[in-house]
């Protein structure tokens, strides 16, 4: 029997990279259904089709985390189809192509967009899905995906770092507010992970991570999925409000 046997799991930003890896891992761990939520329709439908072709229930649902109406519509679609959620992985975020600028050079429009998607979008997704999470079997799980950049203060990325720091802080408050309903909320903070979303990152930043890790090698998406699966599982029923850095020992929590 799989780690997530019979559970209904929503993964945002599931079209590629870490999000897609989480969706595949959840399906292979026995989830009843894995909802692929994605702003890019081509990526989302491709991930959904790949999982569906493998025999999994993995519908694509359009999601723009910067649009409150889109978030509400997504939750309504899930509610109509499944009536509950047992797990939510808040992975969707703006991360690609925004780095490399010092704090004095970040434009206000980009700052606002990053905060709308990464911070407000995470909050609104939890809020929209809360009624479904309360109906989850054996207590629902929320896993917020942050970043270890918020733990070591990565330079030239202030808007992203600040947004992920906010996600870590929100996790602690959400854990207390949702705990009475039997819902646990935790954060995973990956390090720099190889994938499409990090192809733009300069080679020297990749090298900085590899050289600084206790495990001196590049980080792959598969290095993160085990921690997310655990926090979605029944084994994490009494773990809440916690931050788990997964970065090969680049920073210690």
What are the catalytic residues? 160
Angle value at C-alpha 87, between 42 and 121, nearest 5 degrees: 60
Residue 174 vs residues 61, 80, 92, 167: alpha-carbon distances, Å: 25, 25, 18, 10
Under DSSP, the state recorded for 247 is S
SS3 38: strand
> Is 46 buried (19+), middle (13-18) or exposed (0-12) by CB count in 10 A?
middle
Of 175, 206, 212, 211, the C-alpha closest to 192 is: 206
Crossing angle for the helix pair 158-178 and 121-133, to the nearest 10 degrees: 20
Cβ–Cβ < 8 Å for 22, 195: no
> Is 210 buried (19+), middle (13-18) or exposed (0-12) by CB count in 10 A?
middle
Rounded to whole angstroms, how far apart are CA atoms 247 and 192?
7
């Amino acid at each position: 029997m799989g780690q997530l046997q019979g559970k209904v799991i929503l993964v945002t930003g599931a079209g590629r990279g870490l999000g897609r890896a989480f969706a595949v891992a959840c399906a292979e761990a026995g989830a009843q259904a894995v909802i692929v939520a994605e702003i890019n329709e081509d990526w989302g439908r491709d991930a959904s089709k790949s999982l569906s072709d493998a025999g999994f229930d993995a519908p694509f649902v359009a999601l723009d985390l910067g649009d409150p109406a889109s978030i509400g519509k997504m939750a309504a679609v899930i509610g109509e189809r499944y009536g509950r959620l047992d797990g939510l992985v808040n992975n969707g975020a703006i991360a690609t192509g925004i780095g490399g600028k010092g704090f004095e050079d970040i434009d206000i429009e980009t700052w606002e967009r990053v905060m709308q998607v990464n911070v407000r979008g995470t909050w609104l997704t939890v809020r929209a899905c809360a009624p479904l999470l309360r109906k989850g079997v054996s207590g629902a799980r929320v896993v917020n995906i942050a970043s270890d950049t918020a733990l070591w203060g990565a330079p030239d990325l202030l808007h992203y770092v600040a947004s992920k720091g906010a996600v870590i802080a929100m996790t602690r408050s959400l854990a207390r507010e949702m705990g009475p309903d039997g819902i646990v909320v935790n954060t995973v903070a990956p390090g720099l992970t190889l994938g499409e979303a990090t192809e733009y990152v300069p080679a020297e930043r990749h090298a900085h991570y590899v050289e600084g890790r206790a495990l001196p090698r590049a980080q792959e998406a598969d290095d993160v999925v085990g921690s997310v699966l655990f926090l979605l599982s029944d084994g994490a029923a009494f773990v809440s409000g916690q931050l788990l850095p997964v970065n090969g020992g680049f920073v210690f929590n």
